[in-house]
Every structure is written in structure tokens, then in C-alpha cells.
Structure 1
Amino acid sequence: MPIPTGGYREVAEDLAARITSGEYAPGERLPTYNELSALYDVSVTTVQRAVIVLQTRGLVIGLQGRGLWVAEKSPT
């Protein structure tokens, strides 16, 4: 998957695609903000804004001092 070189929306869409494709599995820890910033060649602030979008969608959960995790799939 090519890495987008844009704003927080593009980063959020790419991360969402990686999560839904299974590249990042439910319950798996995501890379740190700094690692994501380097991966996407954007600022940490841009990554933070992208993560807010993903949290709003229920795709990721942030745990204070412990990192970002892919949300477990809810039973349907």
C-alpha cells in the first residue's frame, strides 16, 4: 500500500485501511506517534489528529501512558 503524503485525513484513511485489511489486528498495539510520524513523513500533531478521527470511528483506543491499540471487534 503506498503511503500517503498529505494531511491527517489521508493518514487516518490509510491507517483505517490497514486496520480493516488485518495488517493491524484487533487488540494489537499500533506504532507510537513518533514512529507513525516518521512512517508518514508528517508532524506528530498530524498523527494525533488522524488518531482522533480513528478513535471517533471506534477503530483505535488510546490508553494513557500505554499507547494506541486496535479496538476489538464488537460482537454482532
Structure 2
Amino acid sequence: MAVRRLTYEQIADDIAARIASGEYPPHERLPSTRELADLYSVSPGTIAKVQIVLRTRGLTYGVPGGGVYVEGPES
């Protein structure tokens, strides 16, 4: 039986659940694109789509040259 790969939407939902649970707390850097690609057994291009979805949902923000971070409550 073939292993079914997760879609980028499913990966985004999983990371969103991890954010909601506090596994990835506000203002913490998410794992790198390569680390997430390895974790989910997908290509870095798939993770790039995941990052767009998370940013569109307002869950993350990028720091040029510094990675992707979890949004925090408004101060």
C-alpha cells in the first residue's frame, strides 16, 4: 500500500493546530523550510505554499533573512 502524502492545506492545518495548542508559541520562530519539509516528507516548494496559507490566515509573519515566526496578540 502506498503512503499518502499530505497536501499543503493539510500541513497548514496541522501547523495551525500546533500554534493553537501552544506547541509553537507567539513570536517563536517556526522550524526552517528544510526542517518542515523533512518533518512532513514533502518538497520545500510545498512548504512555501504552506507558509503562504499560514500568513494569509494571519498566523505567521516573515522576517527577511530571519525566518517565519508565529503571530502574537496585538499589544
**Structure 2 length as normaliser, TM-score?**
0.90
Instruction: Give the Å deviation of 1:64.
Output: 1.1
Return 5+ residue gaps in structure 2 as ranges: none
Q: Which runs of 4+ in 1 moved over 2 A?
A: none
| C-alpha distance in 2 between matches for 1:12 and 1:72 | 18
Instruction: Give the Å deviation of 1:58.
Output: 0.6
Letter in 2 for 1:44: P
Q: Deviations over 1:35-72 (max 9, x none)?
A: 00000000001001011000001100011100010001
* Corresponding residue for residue 14 of structure 2: 14
**Structure 1 length as normaliser, TM-score?**
0.89
* Corresponding residue for residue 35 of structure 1: 35
* RMSD, aligned α-carbons: 1.4
* Corresponding residue for residue 48 of structure 1: 48
| C-alpha distance in 1 between matches for 2:5 and 2:11 | 8
Return 5+ residue gaps in structure 1 as ranges: none
